[in-house]
Structure 1
Amino acid sequence: MWFRNARLFRFSKPFDISAEELEEKLQADAFKPCGPQETTRSGWVPPLGKHGEQLVHSANGYHLICLRKEEKILPGPVVKEAVEERAEAIELEQSRKVRRKEKDEIKEQVMLEMLPQAFSRNRRCYAYLAPQDGFLVVDAGSAKQADDLASTLRKSLGSLPVRPPAVEQAPAFTFTGWLNETVDHPATVVLGSECELKDPSEDGGVVRCKGLDLKAEEIRNHLDAGMQVTKLALTWDDNVSFVLDEELGIRRLKFGETLQDQLEEVDGDDAVARFDAAFTLMTLELSRMIPGLLDALGGEDRSAIVEE
């Protein structure tokens, strides 16, 4: 159980919930497959998959959950062809032109007829609640996917006081300072070999660099021209590598050999034990990394957070 991405939400006021209470709340919105005429449906499923029945997997106060989303797939060209065929048939039979509004109605009818035979695409999105750390962490590659999970969780719980974390200075300013050496970065942060630079002007371009020395003259020339760093590959404390963007989205998470070696000590034949061990190792490492990373970026802006 290693997350590949991490979208962060900060609890904006003290929040705590037991595994039992969370389980009870999620059960009311457990996943059910799409009905014959439904195009999409979401619900909670066991994070352990076939190895578990509980909708919440907890370890050391961290609560892992999983949202499953089913979508019916109707290929656009197939629907369009069926609509055109029916429209042509009406035009020949009734000697009149089928207008756009009527075509839209035909399309709705065609889709309703096709839905029961449509293929389904299922996606799972994992997240864990860390009340003691004040964060909700979502394994999502996009902000929208993370927001969808947070919204569904809010609906299930009735209330979920979270917001994206904020830092005292713009991340792009900090990233740029690290590369042009006007801002120091802590020893726990090591620059990688990948970045994205943007021209801040309205029609400015984008330069993506990969496999390069980010302190090289080539990069410095772009910085001297006024470009800003909006994505940056980093390694945290020799244990976690990732790409961080200006919205504090963490992508392509990779956990280092030290953590992997610890996982190898767990019985390889016990899937549940390995899952639990990986989740524990990951959450403990991220519980160190997340606040440290926010500090490295200039410190967290906590003005909108209600303290105890």
Structure 2
Amino acid sequence: MIYIILLLISFLLTYFIKNYMIKKSFVASVNERSSHTVPTPHGGGIALAITWFIGLIYLYFIGEISSNLFYALLFGAFISIVSFFDDIYELSPKLRLMVQALVAIGGLYFLGGFDTLTFGIFDISNPIFTNIFAFFMIIWFINLYNFLDGINGYAGSQAVFLALAGFVLFSGNHFLVLAVAVLGFLYWNWNKAKIFMGDVGSTLLGYNIAIFTIYYANQEATNFWIWIILFGVYWFDATLTLVRRKLNKEKLSQAHKKHAYQRLTQSGWSHYKVTNYSIGLNLVLFSIVYFVGNIFVAFILALIVLVLSMKFVDNKKAFE
């Protein structure tokens, strides 16, 4: 019953926020980085975030989430609040990065740090190395999720996939809370979007995925690679695009439209088709995780799938 209530809260909040943003003319303008052509209200992530934290607090009070995971996830409220003001006032990159760093430190503190980074044939358990790695990983996940939030349904469907995959593999009810919180928003963002998520939603989702990755890796070191595979569509595109732009000697802070999903839309694919393509790719990655017993073999197979997928995108629209 609680999940139906949360779904309705997210759905109705997104509807009211959409109307309010239109009334106040808070719309996402069309610029050189945009994949949309019509000014559209943003801030739908507010509904997602409010619903998520309501559900999270509910789970904590009925004892269905561990206290360290609860507080680490709750700490994400700071990134949502700052991102909300960034959506409205466009805060300086330095301030945003400082907040992301503080949130990363806070999240790691509540999780008790990152224990072990395993590579199968050897492990790294030095707390200085593992925690520095986890610190930068959290910041990267926050930003790459924001980078990849650009077309209708893309960021929302990715979050729903990760939440449902997490529930199937790890059984935590917090995954169901995340799924319904996003689904209520996604109704208004699917296909022809009536509202966008904004940084307030995308940065929170990136932070949550990073926290899940560390939390479950602390339970079993190989779980780290499960989350890396499941999140593969996003981190592979964002990381490869960043490397390619660096090799092209481009100014990395400059707006661009070179991510795989952007190039597919430039090739003539609709937002709907690109989002469905990503969902299909995610299902392939989940199947690899679910059916391949050795996680490192699974990672190699997933990497091959991602490389071939990027080759397909390159053939549709070359990276220039």
TM-score normalised by structure 1 residue count: 0.26
From the two aligned structures, give the one with the greater helix fraction: 2
Greater percentage in strand: 1
Tell me the TM-score normalized by structure 2. 0.25
- Say which one has the larger Rg: 1
